[in-house]
Chains A and B, each alone.
Chain A
Amino acid sequence: MILAYAGYVLAIALLDGSSVAGASVPVGGDTVGGDPVSGYLAGGHTWRQHGCQTCHSIYGLGGHAGPDLTNVFRRIPDSQVRHVILDGHLGMPAFDLTEGELQGLIDYLVFIGETGAYPPQSIRDPVFGFAP
């Protein structure tokens, strides 16, 4: 049991994400924000610190009260995302973030958005997702 577990964890640690050959991320919308890689860690901290995952999901994992945010910047522009976070919208409260925290969060979501596509747009989408 311990060996099986250790092997599986090693597999997660070593294997890079991949998907069905030939299925690539659908392109659309603007890529916005600063440097996604450098902002990723800081943005992830902000994401967790403010409990974003209680209402929002990424790749369908998380809360269901709000929309999935995997490819949020393909749907709405940067300015609207900033407005919703800082001023609230419908069932979402306003969050008092500094400009650094806000930019980090945006970088985090931009980074994630480049890793794949979710939610599926058609019943004919690849069942094992899209390659980054």
Chain B
Amino acid sequence: MRPRSTAAHRPLLLLTTLACLLLALATGLVVAVKSVFPELALTALPMQILRPLHTLASIGCLFVGICALFLFAGREAGARGTRALGLALAVLTLTFLPAAALSVLIGEGSGKEYVSWSPALTTLLVVMFVLLVVSFFANLRAFVGASPEAAWLIGLGLLCIPLGLVEANFYRAVGPSYAKEISFDWHAMDIIFAGWSATLYGFGILIAGGPAKPLRATWLYALAAFTFVSTFGHHHYLSPQAQVIKIIALTASMMAGVSFLRHVREVFRVRGLTASGPLAPFLRTVETWTLVAIGSGILLAVPQVNLVLHGTYAIVAHSMGAMIGVDVVLVLGGLAYYLRPLEAPTVARLSRYMRWLNIGLALVWIDLVVAGLLKGVLRFEQIHAAYQPVVLRVLFPLPVLGLLVAVPLVLVAIELLRQVAAHRRSPVPSTVRASAPEPGGSGPS
């Protein structure tokens, strides 16, 4: 049995991940209410603080979740130096999160989408991810030994995130050029999105178990790197960005069709192979929403569709489907995996909660897409003041539908907290954990 002090940073990071998730859910529900009733509590609950707080908490959940999963995965793979790394990560995250929240609350945030905290605090995040990158490459053999494909995804993703965080501040250096400012802003965000998704997919492959997937042809990885760097440019078709960048983005986005077809196959494969595994509900949810995210992303990248749906709630549906249905579920599934063994009643409850989450998320997704489609069509003929009341009528159920997403996620968080408490009462020797049932089959690819 390990002495408690050497493992303290892992539960601490796990608890911080769940705290961020709960804050994201709470602020998200308030934002949903304010979106439908914009005149409600204008001063007491200003949107300029609520939304940045919501995105900070959401991103915090994913970033800290990545830290926690890295430490758990590193321990199991036999990586070295994870104790010191864990301590550093705990200090950095527990410094960054309250400081970032405070910067938003007192109006000293960046004013930017997603990267909403004070720019100076980004340094802490960059240091955090540089430490992760260094640790990863120092223990490359251990991670590759666990799964070559997972290692490649985790390494690529961890590289992307600090690059994007640094790029998010490039707008300060471009002078009076709005085209470049908006290009750097959103390319930075897109690289960060791609980074955390790749990293979490890598962990998903590790937790799914089964035979380790070998590396594939080099050209496929070159293609992946190209799409990582350029695909999200479809955000900018209508902005004054250089034409060549838009064409590169269109090309890269259409290449995602290859990934879509592979995930269609994976949805059916995962259903069959993980039917009885404790993580089956998480993995099925991830594969299903990966399909939805990639499919909707490809559609949104078609310029004629983009013309109608860009700048509408359809984009919010796409990003929420991906962030919640894929990224958050991967974090929670990963944490559940590393807190194994899971008792049968716990597995049954988790399965039920994931079912509820899928229903709630699907309803939210549909509501946002319908609202987005309506806005996209109506704005050709009408000004905002004319079409917005119609859009708000469609969005009316959103706060209630949001509850259908929040409640199952809270219940999953409570189950994970119970697991942490159970482990503290009766620490599980690593030999028992190592022999705990594997979910079997392959995970996200």
Measured CB to CB, the residues of A under 8 A from B are: 1-2, 4-5, 8-9, 11-13, 15-20, 37, 40-41, 44, 47-55, 57-68, 75, 88, 90-93, 111-112, 115-116, 118-123, 125, 127-129, 131-132
Nearest Cβ distance between residue B181 and chain A, in whole angstroms? 8
Of A1, A62, A63, A111, the most chain B CB neighbours within 10 A belong to A1
Cβ–Cβ contact A15 & B244, under 8 A: yes
List of B residues within 8 angstroms of A88 by Cβ: 42
Bound Cα distance from A18 to B51, whole angstroms = 32
Task: Provide a sorted-by-A list of 10 A–B residue pairs whose CB atoms are within 8 angstroms.
Answer: A4-B229, A15-B242, A53-B111, A62-B113, A65-B47, A91-B38, A112-B178, A119-B311, A129-B239, A132-B240
Nearest Cβ distance between residue A125 and chain B, in whole angstroms? 6
Q: Is B307 at the interface (CB under 8 A from chain A)?
A: yes
Q: Is B63 at the interface (CB under 8 A from chain A)?
A: no
Nearest Cβ distance between residue A105 and chain B, in whole angstroms? 12
List of B residues within 8 angstroms of A15 by Cβ: 242, 244-245
Q: Report B373-412 residues with CB < 8 Å from chain A CB.
A: 375, 379-380, 383-385, 388
Bound Cα distance from A24 to B113, whole angstroms = 29
Cβ–Cβ contact B380 & A59, under 8 A: no
Measured CB to CB, the residues of B under 8 A from A are: 34-35, 38-39, 42-43, 46-52, 107, 109-113, 156, 159-160, 163, 167, 170, 174-176, 178-187, 191, 225-226, 228-230, 235-246, 303-304, 306-308, 310-313, 316, 375, 379-380, 383-385, 388
List of B residues within 8 angstroms of A9 by Cβ: 167, 170, 184, 187
List of A residues within 8 angstroms of B385 by Cβ: 67
Cβ–Cβ contact B48 & A127, under 8 A: no
Cβ–Cβ contact B303 & A127, under 8 A: yes
Cβ–Cβ contact B312 & A48, under 8 A: no
A59-B240, A116-B238 known; 16 new pairs, CB 8 Å cut-off, are: A1-B229, A15-B244, A19-B240, A47-B111, A50-B111, A53-B112, A59-B239, A63-B47, A64-B375, A67-B385, A92-B38, A92-B42, A123-B307, A128-B237, A128-B238, A132-B240
Nearest Cβ distance between residue B145 and chain A, in whole angstroms? 22
Cβ–Cβ contact B306 & A48, under 8 A: no
List of B residues within 8 angstroms of A92 by Cβ: 38, 42
Cβ–Cβ contact B182 & A51, under 8 A: no
Contacts A15-B244, A40-B176 hold; do A127 and B306 have CB atoms under 8 A apart? yes
B46, B178, B237, B244: the one within 8 Å of A11 (CB):
B244
- Main SS class of interface, B: helix
Contacts A111-B178, A116-B240 hold; do A49 and B107 have CB atoms under 8 A apart? yes
Cβ–Cβ contact A12 & B245, under 8 A: yes
Cβ–Cβ contact A64 & B48, under 8 A: no
A39: nearest chain-B partner, CB-CB: B176
Of B43, B239, B379, the most chain A CB neighbours within 10 A belong to B239
Nearest Cβ distance between residue A131 and chain B, in whole angstroms? 8
Nearest Cβ distance between residue A122 and chain B, in whole angstroms? 6
A117: nearest chain-B partner, CB-CB: B238
Bound Cα distance from A59 to B187, whole angstroms = 15
Bound Cα distance from A13 to B187, whole angstroms = 12
Contacts A19-B240, A41-B176 hold; do A75 and B303 have CB atoms under 8 A apart? no
Nearest Cβ distance between residue B346 and chain A, in whole angstroms? 39
A55, A91, A129: the one within 8 Å of B240 (CB):
A129
Bound Cα distance from A20 to B238, whole angstroms = 11
Bound Cα distance from A11 to B226, whole angstroms = 14
Cβ–Cβ contact B384 & A128, under 8 A: no
Nearest Cβ distance between residue B100 and chain A, in whole angstroms? 15
Cβ–Cβ contact B47 & A60, under 8 A: no
B46, B242, B379: the one within 8 Å of A18 (CB):
B242
List of B residues within 8 angstroms of A41 by Cβ: 175-176
Cβ–Cβ contact A1 & B159, under 8 A: yes
Cβ–Cβ contact A59 & B236, under 8 A: yes
List of B residues within 8 angstroms of A63 by Cβ: 47, 51
